[in-house]
Amino acid sequence: MSETAKINIQGKETELPLIVGSEHEVGIDISKLRAETGAVTLDFGYKNTGSTSSNITYLDGEAGILRHRGYSIEELAEKADFLEVAYLLINGELPNEEEYQKWDTEIRRHTLVNGDIQNIFDAWPTGSHPMGQLIAMISSLSSFYPESLDPNSGDEARMRTITRLLAKMPTICAMISKNRIGHPLVYPQNSLNYVENYLNMTFKHVTEDYHIDPVLVNAMNKLMILHADHEQNCSASTVRLVGSSHANLYASISAGIAALWGPLHGGANQKVIEMLEAIHADGGDAQKYIDKAKDKSDPFRLMGFGHRVYKNFDPRAKIIKKSADEVLAKLGVNDPTLEIAKKLEEAVLSDPYFIERKLFPNVDFYSGIIYRAMGFPVEMFTVLFALGRLPGWIAQWKEMMEDKQPIGRPRQIYTGPVTRSFVPRSAR
Ligand code: CMC
């Protein structure tokens, strides 16, 4: 097989090397294209463009494969705990017992946030969206920990910044929940593990005991693992792009959270439940909404369906669907929107419009149903996605920094007016 790609641009031929990944993915290395031909490539939405090489996550959208550092998502979701997966993503290997205990202890030691963070919450308008708060709170950590401002200040300092962020994220997410309802905070309790601690800080009322249900801990652990990384999506690419200017980790992750917020990305989990509720309020006619989604003159889309890279099934959705059944059975939830979700799913999976376009339920379709059954308000759903995705963003940022990748600076094809002379305002 040829190791190069030949390209002929306006009669000028050049040969470009091929890059073959460890799973035999083939890419054309175009780094010399502009120098040799004067041309650039154009690929709206980066549908065919690799922005980096990476050792972290392998994804085959046709085959429905997702692996982190070689381990399948199915096995990780079944056998690992979230901090173990976080360690794997960030450090490259699964921790042995000693490494795990050290990692876990370090994270437990850093769960508390500076009390002044509450002052920022106090200044926030009541009822504002949790994602807006999360973006600001994570970015504010750079002010509390100025050593993070220089991301090149050595491996030890970098790992301290990473540990702090992982440790404080659940505390901040729980603070958002408590502040939204005007309740006193529940402080982290470091005898609890990462997931238990988060559930306890979120759902415990200071005046009452709270039983941390192992079924919910297990479901939450699984959900967080399933969200932990997804290679070069919109938010991970944002983290890498912002970080490539050597902005600090907190600023880079905050930018990733902003990218996640949109309804076409992580914001879809909130939109799924809102859509199901709207269908329920409108009489429960799922077909009416399927028809709307198919109508090209109607901007409505079925939220929680379709994916840029998965074209047969989303392996995360398969695992979550099973987990949803377990949680709902355990909690004895009788949710009318669940019936609508089932009807919608069945109808879509046999509808030629969706079959032809390879649209099927994605991870956000089922995660919202579980989060709701667990008692999270819909506005918190995308925050939960961010909580799970954090190790992936950190791993992407760390890899980019360690590889000393250049600042991200895409090219463009200019399509505006050609040169013209300035005309004074009075003469225009
Ligand atoms: N409902 C109805 N039609 C759809 C949908 C949908 N949810 N998604 C895609 N289509 C149609 C689209 O209209 C287009 O049709 P045509 O070829 O006739 O013009 C075709 O399918 C291809 O869609 P696209 O927008 O070109 O695909 P994309 O790869 O750019 O977008 C997507 C992927 C996820 C943004 C899109 O499927 C979508 O908007 N889905 C709903 C939002 C959603 O659930 N997002 C969560 C994604 S999973 C979590 C994550 O990793 O972010």
What pLDDT sits at residue 2? 67
Q: Is the pLDDT of residue 366 over 90?
A: no
Nearest CA among 223, 174, 168 for reference residue 200: 174
- Across residues 399-404, what is the average pLDDT? 97
User: % helix / strand / coil in the chain, to the nearest 5?
Assistant: 55, 5, 40
Which ligand 1 atom lies nearest to the CA of residue 265? 52
Could you tell me the pTM of the whole model?
0.93
Please name the helix (run of DSSP H) or strand (run of DSSP E) that holds residue 74, with its range, or none: helix 73-79
Over residues 109-120, mean pLDDT:
96
Question: Do 113 and 175 meet the contact criterion of CB atoms below 8 Å apart?
Answer: yes
Give the position, in ligand 1's atom list, of the atom nearest the Cα of 45.
30
Give the atom of ligand 1 at the shortest distance from the alpha carbon of 307. 34
Ligand 1: residue whose CA is nearest its atom 12: 357
Q: Is the pLDDT of residue 418 over 90?
A: yes
Digit-coded pLDDT (tens) for 233-265: 999 999 999 999 999 999 999 999 999 999 999
Exposed / middle / buried, residue 48 (Cβ in 10 Å: 0-12, 13-18, 19+): exposed
Q: Whose CA is nearest to atom 8 of ligand 1?
A: 306
The residue contributing the CA closest to ligand 1 atom 36 is 306
Q: Mean pLDDT in the chain?
A: 94
Establish whether 307 is a catalytic residue.
Answer: yes
Cα–Cα distance list, 311 to 173, 232, 355, 356, 357 (Å): 33, 17, 10, 10, 8
pLDDT for 65-82, tens place per residue?
A: 999 999 999 999 999 999
For residue 337, pLDDT beyond 90: no
Q: Which residues pair with 6 in a beta bridge?
A: 15
Task: Please report how the helices 214-227 and 381-402 are oriented relative to each other, as an axis angle in degrees rounded to 10.
Answer: 50
Q: What is the pLDDT of residues 156-168, one digit of tens each?
A: 999 999 999 999 9
The one-letter amino acid at 16: L
Residue 12: pLDDT above 90?
no
> Ligand 1 pocket: which residues have CB below 6 Å?
230, 233, 264-266, 268, 293, 301-308, 357, 359, 362-364
Q: How far is the CA of 306 from the centre of ligand 1 (A)?
A: 5
Mean pLDDT of 385-408: 97
The strands making up 26-28's β-sheet, listed across from edge to edge, are 4-9, 12-20, 26-28
> Which of 290, 305, 369 has most ligand 1 atoms within 8 Å of its beta carbon, as the pocket-test mutant?
305
Domains of the chain: 4-62 (2.20.28), 66-258+386-402 (1.10.580.10), 268-374 (1.10.230.10)
Q: Where are the alpha helices (DSSP H) in 295-416?
A: 315-331, 336-349, 352-356, 363-374, 381-402
The confidence band for 1, taking pLDDT boundaries of 50, 70 and 90, is low
CB 304 within 8 A of CB 365: yes
pLDDT for 42 beyond 90: yes
Percentage above 70 pLDDT, the chain: 100
335 confidence band (pLDDT: 50, 70, 90): confident
- State the closest ligand 1 atom to the C-alpha of 266, by its place in the atom list counted from 1: 52
**Digit-coded pLDDT (tens) for 290-322:** 999 999 999 999 999 999 889 888 899 889 888
Residue 335 neighbours by CB under 8 Å, 6+ apart: 328, 369, 372, 373
* 3-class secondary structure per residue, 394-411: HHHHHHHHHCCCCCCCCC
Q: Ligand 1 centre and the CA of 415: distance in Å?
A: 27
DSSP letters for 228-292: S--SS-HHHHHHHHHHTTT--HHHHHHHHHHHHHSTTTTTHHHHHHHHHHHHHHTTS-HHHHHHH
Please identify which of the residues 116, 307, 335, 403 carries the catalytic annotation.
Answer: 307
Protein residue closest via CA to atom 15 of ligand 1: 357
Confidence at residue 134, expressed as pLDDT on a 0 to 100 scale: 98
Q: Which atom of ligand 1 is nearest to the CA of 304?
A: 44
Distance 297 CA to ligand 1 centre (A): 16
Closest protein CA for atom 9 of ligand 1:
306
* Residue 104 annotated as catalytic: no
User: If you take atom 31 of ligand 1, which residue's CA is the nearest one?
Assistant: 308
Say what the pLDDT of residue 363 is: 87
DSSP β-ladder status, 12-20 and 65-68: unpaired
